[in-house]
Amino acid sequence: MSLINDMLRDLDARRRPPPGAQEALADVRPPPAPPHPRRTVAAVLALVVAVGAALGGAGWYLLERQPAPRVPAAPPGPQATATGPHAAPRSGDGAPPPAAGAATGKPAAAPPAAPARPVVRAVRVLPGGDGEAVRLVAEIEGPVPPVDTTRTADGVLARLRGARAAAGLAPAPAGPVEALELRETGGDLELRARTARPVAQVAVRLLPGTEGAPHRLELQLTPAPRGEAPAQAATGDEPRRAAKAPATETEKVRAAAERRVSGAAERSAARTAAGREAGAPATTAEPPRMERRLRPLTPAQRAERAYAQGLAAMRAGDWAGARRAFQAAMRALPGHPKSAEALARLELRAGRPAEAERVLREALAAQPGHSALTRLLARLLAERGELEAAIATLRRALPGSDAALYGLLGALEQRAGRAAQAAQAYRAALAREPRRAEWWVGLGIALEHLGRGEEAAEAYRRARGLGLAPALERFVGERLAALGH
């Protein structure tokens, strides 16, 4: 800048007249001589450079004093917002922040979408496969919600964090679960199950869905042994206002004993208070204690519990669950007759007669001579064409009190062509149950084959008097007509 100022002063001095010339020529001033062309161009260029430098310096000075532009903060998202010395400075002029992408020319990014809520599409009640246990199975779409479970006085409460129920979902109770309720509260979904007996244990299992299938949340509820009061839930769930009445005689006796103990304690406390008022020395009377000892279930009780679970599974259409329950019953009590019969019928229904025969033979090895299992095995063998094996199976169970076993033996002996043995078996069956019309018809056929027409006609008349199906009625009428009756 000093160089430019010196140049300007030099130009001004060259254009100034010499000393004394101004006073001498006050009245007459000749026109100034035209400047030299080269000097004029140089002066103009110097002036342009000076003005440009001055403007540049002023711009730089103003730019240094201008506050820094505000950098817009990142939109809030799932991650925490950055803070500290590297955070973007805030603008102090109160102006709105520039739109995202204004400096770069790129379109602003859309704000992240809110995360999807888990949706419960279905809730089912299935057998637990372990005695009287039961499973609550919920099908969930979307993210997997955290689950909190609480045992209540009459069942269990499960809270699915951030979840909601599908529109119109109304789960139906089944088996030991007497009531199911879904309720959305505080952004969560509550699933409350009321059971016939208190719940001793809740096991939670999550099976993530694959290839678009929904997730499966399973709550396995194990009921408390009969007569045991439910423990207060550790999560602070409020107890119900009304206590459930004892359901069994054992629970009634135990409740009465607890009332007697409570009454004795109250009377002892009253006597102690009365003694204090009378001036007698105070004594600390400790109330009597009542110990509760739980007896383990017997093998027969465990088998019956598993059998009941299997029947519940069959009613629900869960054939695999029913098969597991019946197998558990037979493990608890080898040869458990009702479970073996039900399991064999399941195998026959599934088209596995060899597996059904194996189940029945194993059960008969543990429970020899059981009538229902023997008859089922004999029918299976007869339908397979093994007539003599079926008859031998029935005769191994004799003698017995089951009339149906003798009736089946009479029919198989008749089919084998042994009329005398058939008549003998039918008479044994009718001696135990005389009002079985079909057995009287079988006896009449056997006697007719033996040439004993009058006895056969009497058997036919007895059958007709008890009532017959239309086909048998026609057959008996034809035989009586053939015998002349």
Phi, psi of 137 (to 5 degrees): -110, 120
One domain for residues 304 and 378:
yes
Q: Whole-angstrom Cα distance, residue 452 to residue 177?
A: 62
H or E stretch including 13? helix 2-15
Give the domain extent around 137: 126-223
Does residue 262 lie in a domain region? no
Q: What is the Cβ-side half-sphere exposure of residue 442, based on CA atoms within 13 angstroms?
A: 28
pLDDT score for 211? 61
Q: Last residue of some domain: 223, 246, 278?
A: 223
Does residue 261 lie in a domain region? no
pLDDT score for 160? 84
Using alpha carbons, select from 147, 181, 175, 189 the residue that is nearest to residue 317. 175
Task: Count up the domains in the chain and report the number.
Answer: 3
pLDDT score for 443? 96
Q: Whole-angstrom Cα distance, residue 10 to residue 88?
A: 53
Does residue 163 lie in a domain region? yes
Q: Whole-angstrom Cα distance, residue 371 to residue 400?
A: 8
Query: For the sheet containing 199-207, what is the strand order?
Result: 164-165, 119-127, 134-141, 215-223, 199-207
Q: Last residue of some domain: 162, 194, 223?
A: 223
Q: Whole-angstrom Cα distance, residue 319 to residue 316?
A: 8
Does residue 251 lie in a domain region? no
8 A C-beta contact, residue 408 and residue 394: yes
DSSP helix, strand, coil percent of the chain (3-state; round to 5): 45, 15, 40
One domain for residues 378 and 407:
no
Does residue 202 lie in a domain region? yes
pLDDT score for 65? 46
One domain for residues 443 and 387:
no
One domain for residues 132 and 204:
yes
CATH number, domain with residue 385: 1.25.40.10
Q: Last residue of some domain: 174, 202, 223?
A: 223
Does residue 320 lie in a domain region? yes
Going residue by residue through the chain, which has 485 residues, state the pLDDT in tens, using 9 for 90 and above. Answer: 444 455 546 545 555 544 444 443 344 344 444 544 455 545 555 555 554 555 554 444 444 444 444 434 444 444 433 344 344 434 444 444 444 444 444 455 555 555 578 888 888 887 765 557 778 888 888 888 898 888 888 888 888 888 888 887 778 787 778 888 888 888 898 888 888 778 888 888 777 766 667 887 888 878 877 765 544 444 444 444 334 444 555 566 566 666 665 565 566 556 655 555 555 454 555 555 666 667 888 999 999 999 999 999 989 989 999 999 999 999 999 989 999 999 999 999 999 999 999 999 999 999 898 999 999 999 999 999 999 999 999 999 888 888 999 999 999 999 999 999 999 999 999 999 999 999 999 999 999 999 999 999 999 999 999 988 999 999 999 999 998 87
Phi, psi of 191 (to 5 degrees): -115, 115
Does residue 215 lie in a domain region? yes
Does residue 245 lie in a domain region? no
